[in-house]
């Protein structure tokens, strides 16, 4: 019975370590998604960074496509 108890405890420890590793990965991915969403919302048309082409005769600010 002692062998069974050790195997169960070992399994619990392994599961706990794996859960902690996965929680760290989830937190990293959450930060990445938030960063990407912020970039998308702030520069959706590229005008703020100057990456979007501006057509002649159109105002440079306040225009969204």
> Could you tell me if residue 60 is inside a domain?
no
Count Cβ atoms below 10 Å from residue 15 Cβ, excluding itself. Answer: 10
State pLDDT tens for residues 17-28: 999 999 999 999
Q: Report the alpha-carbon distance of residue 29 to residue 36 in Å, rounded.
A: 10
Domain residue limits at 1: 1-44
Whether pTM > 0.85 for this model: the answer is: no
> Could you tell me if residue 33 is inside a domain?
yes
Domain count within the chain: 1
Q: Report the alpha-carbon distance of residue 26 to residue 23 in Å, rounded.
A: 5
| Better pLDDT: 50 or 7 | 7
> Could you tell me if residue 36 is inside a domain?
yes
State pLDDT tens for residues 35-65: 999 888 876 655 556 566 667 776 666 655 5
Q: Report the alpha-carbon distance of residue 31 to residue 23 in Å, rounded.
A: 12
> Sign (positive/negative) of CA torsion 43, 49, 54, 59?
positive
> Could you tell me if residue 11 is inside a domain?
yes
Residues counted in the chain: 65
């Amino acid at each position: 019975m002692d062998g069974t108890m050790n195997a169960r405890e070992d399994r619990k420890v392994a599961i706990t370590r794996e859960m902690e590793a996965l929680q760290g990965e989830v937190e990293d991915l959450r930060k990445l998604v938030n960063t990407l969403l912020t970039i998308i919302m702030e520069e959706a048309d590229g005008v703020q960074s100057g990456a979007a082409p501006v057509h002649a005769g159109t105002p440079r600010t306040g225009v969204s496509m």
